[in-house]
Every structure is written in structure tokens, then in C-alpha cells.
Copies of this chain bind each other. A is one copy, B any other.
Amino acid sequence: MDAAEFRRRGKEMVDYVADYLEDIEKRPVYPDLEPGYLRSLIPTEAPLEPESYEDVIKDVERVIMPGVTHWHSPYFFAYFPAASSYPAMLADMLCGAIGCIGFSWAASPACTELETVMLDWLGKMLQLPECFIAGTHGRGGGVIQGTASEATLMSLLAARCKAVRRIQAANSKKSESEILSKLVAYTSEQAHSSVERAALIGAVMMRKVPTDKHYAVRKETLQKMVEEDKAAGLIPFYFCATLGTTPSCAFDHLTELGPLCNEENMWMHIDAAYAGSAFICPEFRPLLNGVEFADSFNFNPHKWLLVNFDCSAMWVKERADIIGAFKMEPLYLKHENQESGLVTDYRHWQIPLGRRFRSLKMWFVFRMYGLKGLQAHIRKQVGLAKEFESLVRADKRFEICAEVVLGLVCFRLKGPNELNQELLKRITKTREIHLVPCQLSGRFVLRFAICARTTESRHIQQAWQHITQLTFELLQEAGH
């Protein structure tokens, strides 16, 4: 395919994309097929000779679309939102064309520098404390990670390295493996599975902290565990707080927990993967109070801030902490500006070496929406969640299972878990809307998350209408 054909096919693809997104709600939100469906639809080997573009593109509807879960359908209420906006898609086209691999400043200065400045812009939108802003002389700053899982892992590894060095500085006879075997990390029992996984990767113990009745970690609980562990000869070194847990969007109490972590020399990382976007609205910003005690903070603009996946924003207070954990300098990656002190080589900040020019997406989205446009998006979606909450509260057969703070509503039918499992099964099977469950205090709960950018009140009303219809049938069959 030459440039001329790309011009033609690219324009057709732009129309296909616009058509897909404009008409998405006509498609069943969840696919109706059995595992293994795709293999029989295409050859078992790649073709020897080139095929035509027509042949490829017509297979998109035949092979791909029947197997797509449509995350951008206004009837998709599962997991958490995946961001999508037209400006981000345009920026991604440009990113693909430039196609630089921005592992160091020299590998493409614009890729590195725009990223640093965009993380400053975003940090200011969130009113992050000055220490997280890179500016021209800051010791902190931001980076785009692929996912919150990677941000958590990087923070845990940086904390591990810092703890080992601190302990060895005080007692040079202790071996690294001896120290590692005593390090202990903490996170909420409600934290995302990726936090526990980070500890497995980093080969350190991770203890789950019980939560209060709002599913939040409180200071006393963590303090008690830390004291017990210290008494047992262990070394508490890391706490991952969650703002907006995955099951119920609960918020750990940072203003209590932060000072404790600081006193105990424990790295505090904040995982606000979903909720973080809301902090650009002054009315939600108090949820982030206490961030000043954190060593690192992360949230996903690719969830709720209209920047297409992947774009997970992470800030650290001391860039030396995160860089220091891994800095390696083979000659083929050295460049002459490296020692100037002005240069950021982002490969030291992350697990992968290569990286795309993802800050272009942030730049396009922030400018074309403006802060006000982004705030309007958050507020609209929170409003829709409140609307759904009201519908649930008005129906005595149902209960709300956790406070609705942002765009997630946790609810269930009063009664046994089996009833709710059956309800969800029927919802999934009819494929008009899509939800996933969670577990809260041993109860099987349905999660209703406002996801698509194009979800409106009418979709919420229709979703509730659908749920109550299925509930009616279910309860009738069950003889209620």
C-alpha cells in the first residue's frame, strides 16, 4: 500500500470509525458466541501472496465485530469506563505516523518534553501540591505509564530499593535478601488485584488491611498491623492507598493514613485509577486531600478523562527515587545531553524500554475540551449515576450497597446471593446492557458504572426498565 492508497483507504476508515461510533447502540453490547468462534472463520495460516484491502476490510464485519464487546456503547455499564474521544483518536493517528520510540530524550525530544509539560498541566488541573510538578527546577514530576498496574509496580519497586538502601546505610552487614525477606507492604482488602500482584512480582510480603463499613482503610487498623509486624521483626515499607476502589468506589482516609506512613518511613502510593479524573472538579477535589503525604500518585486519564487507552498518569515527589531504582546506561542508549540535568529519560521511570508519543493525546484532548469541557463530562456522568441511584432507591425490592460518590452504583436485589447471580445471568444473556458483579461483605452485588461518553438519561432509564422487567420475570418464576 503506497501513500496514495493510504489517502483513499484512510479516509474510508475515518468514515467507518465515525459510522461505527454513531450507530454503536444498534449493536448488541455483548457478543453472543462460544469461545473459539473466530478460529474457524479465518485461514489457519497467513497468505503467501498479498490480499486486497477490500478483502481485509470486509472481514472486519464478518470476523471481528460479532466478537466485540462494545465498550463505547451507551448500554455498556461494566468494569469502569474506557475513555474515547475524537480529538484523542486524531492525536493517535499522528502518534502512529511519527512512530518514534521515546525511551530517551534524544530518541525524540518532543515526545519526552511534551509529556513532562502535559503532566504538569494535568497536575495543576488536579491542584496537586507543587512538589509533584516538574516545572523547570522541580525534584518531582509526572510520567505516562501504560496502566495503573505498572504505576503500582514501579512505586513498589522504588520503595523496595529505597528501603533496602536505607537499612543497609544504617547496618551495612545486612544482606539484601535478608532485608527483602522482612519487608512488608500493605493495601486495602478492597484494593485492585494488581496491587497484590505487584508484591508477588517484587517478591515482598503484602498484607491486606481490613476496611470499615464504608470499605475504606482507617488509620487505627493499619497502625495496629504495622505495630504487630514491627514487633515480629518485620519491616513495613510501603502502603498503597486506594481512592475509588474497583468493587465500590470507596476512598481510603489519606489525611489519617498519610501522616502514619510518613512517621513510619513507609512509601505511600495512591492508586486513584478511576476516581482521579473527578479531582479536576473543585467539588470532588477534597477526596484527594492528604495527597501531600504521598510519595507517588497515579490515575488513569484513559478511564474517565477522554484520553483513549493507554494513558495512565503517575507523579512522584522525588524523581530520584524512581529513577534510582533501575538506572542503567549502555552506550547505545547514551546521548550527549544526558548529563545536563535538564533531561528526562523516561525509560528509567517505567518497566518497558520503548514508549509511544502518548502525550499528543493529552494535548489534543485538554485543548479541544478545555478544563471546563472536561469538568462538564465528569459532572454529567456523576449526574447519570445519581439518576440511576434514585431509580434503585425508589424500588423497595432493591438496595444500594455503597455510597454513590462518583459514577458507580452498587446495588442488589434484597435477598439471597443466588437471586442476584441469576438476575445478572439473565442481564448478560439478553445482551441489551452489560454489567459485571462484585463482592461486598460477602454479598453478591451488581455494579452499574456510567461508561460511554455518549450515555444519556434515556439510556439509564431504558437500562433500569430492562432490569426491572427481568426482575419481575425472575421473581415471578421464583414464586415471590
Q: A10-B14, A150-B351 are in contact. Are A124 and B56 (CB under 8 A)?
A: no
**Docked complex Cα distance between A329 and B193 (Å):** 8
A69 on the B face (CB < 8 A)? yes
Say what secondary structure dominates the interface of chain A. Answer: helix
Chain A interfacial residues counted at CB < 8 A: 153
Instruction: Mark A154-167 against chain B: 1 for CB-CB distance below 8 A, else 0.
Output: 00010010000000
Smallest CB separation, A27 vs chain B (Å): 11
A439 on the B face (CB < 8 A)? yes
Contact of A352 among B85, B86, B147 (CB under 8 A): B147
Q: Which of A114-122, A207-215, A250-258, A471-479 is the interface stretch?
A: A114-122
A364 on the B face (CB < 8 A)? yes
Which chain B residue has the least Cβ–Cβ distance from A84?
A: B99
Contact of A308 among B96, B177, B246, B335 (CB under 8 A): B96
Instruction: Mark A13-42 against chain B: 1 for CB-CB distance below 8 A, else 0.
Output: 111111011100000000101111111001
Q: Which of A220-228, A365-373, A384-392 is the interface stretch?
A: A365-373
Smallest CB separation, A168 vs chain B (Å): 14
**Docked complex Cα distance between A1 and B367 (Å):** 11
Smallest CB separation, A187 vs chain B (Å): 13
**Docked complex Cα distance between A428 and B363 (Å):** 30
State which residues 307-326 of A face B: CB under 8 Å. Answer: 308-310, 325-326
Which residues of chain B have C-beta atoms less than 8 A from A148's C-beta? 353
Which chain B residue has the least Cβ–Cβ distance from A113?
A: B38
Contact of A21 among B3, B36, B49, B107 (CB under 8 A): B3
**Docked complex Cα distance between A340 and B83 (Å):** 31
Q: A5-B86, A10-B14, A35-B342 are in contact. Are A99 and B46 (CB under 8 A)?
A: no
B146 touches A352 (CB 8 A): yes
Which residues of chain B have C-beta atoms less than 8 A from A369's C-beta? 50
B368 touches A1 (CB 8 A): yes
Most buried by B among A37, A124, A360, A368: A368
A295 on the B face (CB < 8 A)? no
Which residues of chain B have C-beta atoms less than 8 A from A109's C-beta? 31, 33, 35, 37-38, 67-69
A416 on the B face (CB < 8 A)? no
Contact of A342 among B7, B36, B333 (CB under 8 A): B36
Which residues of chain B have C-beta atoms less than 8 A from A175's C-beta? 181
Other A-B contacts than A6-B17, A13-B94, A17-B93, 14 sampled, CB-CB below 8 A, are: A35-B109, A38-B110, A42-B117, A67-B110, A69-B106, A71-B100, A71-B101, A72-B99, A79-B107, A82-B99, A147-B352, A193-B328, A201-B201, A332-B438
Interchain Cβ contacts under 8 Å between A and B, 28 examples: A1-B87, A3-B86, A6-B86, A6-B90, A10-B18, A10-B93, A38-B113, A46-B121, A48-B371, A50-B367, A56-B364, A56-B367, A64-B114, A67-B113, A68-B108, A68-B109, A68-B110, A92-B93, A96-B308, A157-B201, A177-B203, A180-B180, A193-B328, A196-B328, A246-B332, A247-B330, A310-B354, A334-B437
